[in-house]
A and B are shown apart, each in its own frame.
Chain A
Amino acid sequence: MEKIPIIKVGDTLLVSIQTDLQDQIAMTMQTDLLGRIEQTSARGVIIDISVVDIVDSFLGRVLSETASMARIMNAVVVVVGIQPSVAITLVELGLELKQIPTALNVERGLQLLRERIAWEDHAVADDAESRELGREEERARNGHG
């Protein structure tokens, strides 16, 4: 059973999907990738589909679900390298993959990941800060109660 290699580059995982892969290989990639996210605590994943010349409803669904699953494990997935003919066909088929961040190539994908992760961490920090402020106000109110 062939496998899709998952390469770790810094704190990002890079997956390159070859064309015309069998369903089972796509499903194995999904499981392997989630396992690697757990092992490495990776925050970002790039799935490169630049050599994939057909994305049908099955592969589209695998990509969407992989992105959602990784999301739950606190990692952001960016799909890169979608060919124009694939983008046209996907939209006509009615699969717009709206919920998946995409980028033109690996380089742009890495940039997008950096921005997204920084923004998320910022939002988390903001949350913690506002909770702390809330607690301080609470303490102040109780102190003056």
Chain B
Amino acid sequence: MVTVSRATRLSISNEVDLVRARQEVRVQAQALGFSLVDQTRITTAVSELIRNMMKYAGGGTMEIEGVRNGIRAGLRIICHDKGPGIPDIGLAMKEGYSTSNGLGYGLPGTKRLVDEFDIWSEVGKGTRVTISKWR
């Protein structure tokens, strides 16, 4: 049974928002007592997801939630956009489809940085990626 505590919601439309969102995630990860490496992992994962939102949908919203599962505390982040959506999620999640030269969505790499990764996307409706990291 996962309980959710306070949520922070940020609207994302430009580079300044991206930097602010990353700082917010880091501050909350620090407050939850995540190790430096885990703070860096989750902040980097968020940065990648927000870059996708900006690149493919022109922006969107990010929500940060503190979550608790019994004695474990964690952070859950939801990135939601109303952009064109991803036509083929299977392909987007395939290793090697996305490369470091900025083609594709970089989702497999982002997934490796977190404990839970969930993606919903519908063409013409938008995309929602939910990631969680447990302490």
Contact = CB atoms under 8 A, between A and B. Distances in A.
At the interface, is chain A mostly helix, strand, loop or mixed?
helix
Nearest to A58: B51
At the interface, is chain B mostly helix, strand, loop or mixed?
helix
Interface residues of A, number: 24
Given A57-B48, A94-B100, A89 B36 contact: no
Interface residues of B, number: 26
A94 B101 contact: no
B16 interface: yes
Interface stretch (A16-24, A69-77, A106-114): A16-24
Interface of A: 20-24, 53-58, 60-61, 64, 83-86, 88-89, 92-95
A35 B40 CA distance: 33
Contact of B40 (A21, A54, A57): A54
Interface of B: 15-16, 18-19, 22-23, 26, 36-37, 39-41, 43-44, 47-48, 51, 100-102, 106, 108-110, 112-113
A53 B40 contact: yes
Contacts of B47: 54, 56, 58
Nearest to A96: B100
